[in-house]
Amino acid sequence: MIIFNAFFAALGQIGDPKFRAVLLRGVGLTVVLLIAACAVAIWLINRLSGDEISLPFVGAVPWLNDVLNYSGIFVVLVLPVFLMVPVASAITSMFLEEVAQAVEDKRYPSLPKVPGIPFRESVIDGLGFMGVLIAANLLALILYAIFTPLAPFIFWAMNGFLLGREYFTLAAMRRVGREGARKLRAKHATTIWVAGTLMAIPLSVPLVNLVIPIIGAATFTHIYHKLARPIA
């Protein structure tokens, strides 16, 4: 099966120095960004709180200050957990072309070189992807509350769709451009979604989820070449 062959081929290259370099950069930038996000959130809470908070037509409400202070603790504990997956995935995706190139250098050495995606475009795509992931996971909280027993499956299916779409597009557009990637993605939508779900399942596992963007990029590079071969 194409998906599992691609997945295990990607796992077999996990020790590649280029993979490790992308992982270290992605994790490092993720930690810095999460610390900055927590610091900004706490600063805003401190700005809003004071010795005493007054509301229009109500007057002083002393307990609101305590609520804000406790919410700061909640932010520090919960915000990094919630944002870790989308932020790590998005930031690491800015460097995933290096992973795709490493895969092609090892497994498809006869392919012609590609000019590569400009870093500015990679950053814009990565930030857009992060926004979509965060928004989708926030909206999914409503579904989790309504269909609690199905929450893991909703998480896997939704993030699998988004990850599959992003990583396949990344792998394909290097060779056939954004429009060519879109057409190929539409033609093989089910395969891409299933493969993305395979990537999404380990997102629930701490630390392992930091490696998933790299495994995903490598896996979808293999999948792209398998799917594109008949029409190449």
Q: By mean pLDDT, which of 9-23, 37-51, 86-100 is the weakest?
A: 37-51
Q: What is the mean pLDDT of residues 131-155?
A: 86
The closest of 9, 27, 155 to 91, measured between CA atoms, is 27
Please say if the pLDDT value at position 232 is more than 50. no
Angle at 115 between CA 114 and CA 118, to 5 degrees: 130
Q: Which two tokens stand for residue 92?
A: 């690491």
Structure tokens at 3: 């998906």
- The pTM is what? 0.76
pLDDT tens-place string over residues 182-222? 999 999 999 999 999 988 888 777 777 778 888 888 999 99
In order, the DSSP letters of the chain are -HHHHHHHHHHTTTT-HHHHHHHHHHHHHHHHHHHHHHHHHHHHHHHH--S--EETTTEE-HHHHHHHHHHHHHHHHHHHHHHHHHHHHHHHHTTHHHHHHHHHHHH-TTSPP-----HHHHHHHHHHHHHHHHHHHHHHHHHHHHSGGGHHHHHHHHHHHHHHHHHHHHHHHHHHHHHHHHHHHHHTHHHHHHHHHHHHGGGGSTTHHHHHHHHHHHHHHHHHHHHHGGG-
Task: State the average pLDDT over residues 1-20.
Answer: 88
**pLDDT tens-digit readout, 219-228:** 999 999 999 8
- What per-residue confidence (pLDDT) applies to 82? 63
Domain count of the fold of the chain = 1
* Angstrom distances, CA of residue 184 to CA of 103, 167, 170: 20, 13, 12
Please, are residues 232 and 196 in contact by the beta-carbon 8 Å criterion?
no
Q: What is the pLDDT of residue 22?
A: 84
- Residues 87, 30: contact at Cβ < 8 Å? yes
- In terms of average pLDDT, the best of 66-75, 122-131, 137-146, 160-169 is 160-169
Instruction: Judge whether 180 and 167 are in contact, CB under 8 Å.
Output: no
Question: Which tens digits make up the pLDDT trace of 71-109?
Answer: 666 666 666 666 666 666 666 677 778 888 899 999 999
> Could you give the CA distance from residue 86 to residue 19 in angstroms, rounded to a whole number?
19
Tell me the range of 16-20, 163-167, 190-194 where mean pLDDT is highest: 190-194
Range of the domain at 22: 2-231
Tell me how far the alpha carbon of residue 115 is from its chain's centroid: 25
Spatial distance between the Cα atoms of 161 and 182, rounded to a whole number of angstroms: 14
pLDDT value at residue 178 = 86
Identify the pLDDT of residue 48: 61
| pLDDT for position 114 | 80
Q: Say yes or no to pLDDT of 49 above 70.
A: no
Looking at residue 90, what is its pLDDT? 67
> Chain-wide mean pLDDT for the chain?
79
**CA-closest candidate to residue 84, choices 179, 229, 177, 205:** 205
